[in-house]
Structure 1
Amino acid sequence: MARPLTKAQKQVILAKLEETYKDTKTALNYNSPFELLVAVILSAQCTDERVNVITARLFPRLNTPEKMGALTQEQMEEEIRDCGLYHAKAKNILGACHMLVERFNSTIPSDIKTLMELPGVGQKTANVVASIIYNVPAIAVDTHVFRVSHRLGMAKGADPLATEKELQKAIPMEKWSDAHHWFIWHGRKICKARKPLCSQCVLLEECPFKEKNLE
């Protein structure tokens, strides 16, 4: 088993990730807090590219909780049928629309705990929305963040919540939200799930991942 990274080693890794991905943002397209919320709910087990295709036809017509919430379950399912888990997502999105109108005056809550009261909004979704819209320090652990942080030795937690807590300790709070994007983009571009592009990685020397692909 590889030795745990020292604080200095973690700082080197974070510095290189920041230098490489410092200007990156979410790949999801949106024009309002509500649109971002819907896009993030749709993104569960679905690529951002697919979500952007769906929202490109959805948002020009249904861009408020009132408009989207007026759909029936069947109509909502039809709108997002080409997205994975569309039955559950349609139900959750409609439930979120109704709650936003009835309890929050159609305004997206700014704190993570309140966001998680909305149907379909778990820790990861709440973290993403709060950090992007309201600049709340948060690290949303999706599949990319989980994979990259574990391969780099930045975390070893068995689930996203444990991983989130480890990353919060390893990363300065003022950089939590930005680092979330660094890990995501590194996972998409270089540290891919099946065949990581290790020979192109700026962290090749620092990375303890044993199954490196150096082709």
Structure 2
Amino acid sequence: MSVVRPLLAAALLATALTLSPGPPALAGPAAAPGLRASAAHADAAPLEDYAAYEPPVRCSPRDRRGTKALARWTVRRFGGGWGGISRSCGATPSEHSEGRAFDWTVDVRRAADRRRVRALLDALFAPDAAGNPAARARRMGVMYVIWDDTTWSSWRRFAPAPYLNAACPSKRECSRTLRHRDHVHISLTRAGARGRLSWYIGRV
């Protein structure tokens, strides 16, 4: 009897382990291929045209889900800091007051940050596999980007152009922040901010 009982117990344990459905944690890794498939589906969706300028018209400082997705992607992929999305409404209209602009904290005085910004711009404005220029920026609904006295606007096909804030008489009389030398500003269309364009498939 002393030998049979341990053998029986071992057999029952082996049967229980064989029939066990396994830990629910298996559902976690299984989600990753689905996300990759969604991203691939986004790339296969029809490519949006260059975004038209949509001026801010109301005070609604709430972080939009598309803007948050773009901000997370930027910081996770390129580093830098989270400078914020929404701001309280002031006298001057801003996409920040509609939750559709993201400030990415980087410093032009740091070589590593300059490389980060260059990598972001390359990622936004690179052609896709079919040769369509600025494909990712168009799928995101990027209206314009500002960094280091320069702006890249969708209505100019993202060609770089000199930038000077309206509040600055000249560069020398302008702060580093208004010159966008301590952050990158990214403004989105309303559809992009709401996550309703192709890049946001599987991300919002």
Q: TM-score, normalised by structure 1?
A: 0.21
Greater Rg by CA: 2
Q: TM-score, normalised by structure 2?
A: 0.22
Greater share of residues in helix: 1
Greater share of residues in strand: 2
